[in-house]
Amino acid sequence: MKYGLGLIAVAAITAVAGTAAISDSNADKAALAAVKARQSQMTLYAFNIGLLGGMAKGNVEYDATAASAAAANLASLSKLDQSRLWPQGSDNETLGHDVTEALPKIWAADSDIAQKGMALVEAATAMESAAGGGLDSLRGAMGPLGKSCGSCHETYRQAKN
């Protein structure tokens, strides 16, 4: 089951959300550390997809080895266990808009962030197969991959202005 880890990792967000309470400064520190860690993971997503996007647009010369490496990184990153990255109380209403862009509805009962995380795992895994197979192949996998990032951001991220 190739996608299992990612699914479990993202689904675990909900489980952790029920138990973590931000009631003292140690808990605040833990929440801030989690925010920093998840933003760092996002930065690594952006760094790797940046190369693929540059090649797709023709701004960077296509290189099968480099494209495959970036796509493999992205696929691996998407499957990391994220269960400690999204503690309840680490949204932008609680911690402040200057600290995090994560909207409270990530933790709402009807949140589908786990599915959106799965969509990224699937798109990144498809890109991992496609990236080394030529520029057209890479371009074909780019749309769904970009959409998987954008779709989650649209719903669950409030970009800083």
State the residues that interact with ligand HEC by CB under 6 A: 35, 38-39, 42-43, 45-46, 49, 100-102, 113, 116-117, 120, 148-149, 152-153, 156-157
CB neighbourhood size of 84 (10 A): 16
In angstroms, rounded to a whole number, what is the distance separating the alpha carbons of residues 70 and 4?
Answer: 21
Residue 102 Cβ vs ligand HEC, minimum distance, rounded to whole Å: 4
Report the candidate in 157, 17, 3, 161 with the shortest Cα–Cα distance to residue 87: 17
Residues whose CB falls within 8 Å of the CB of residue 47, separated by 6 or more in sequence, listed in order: none
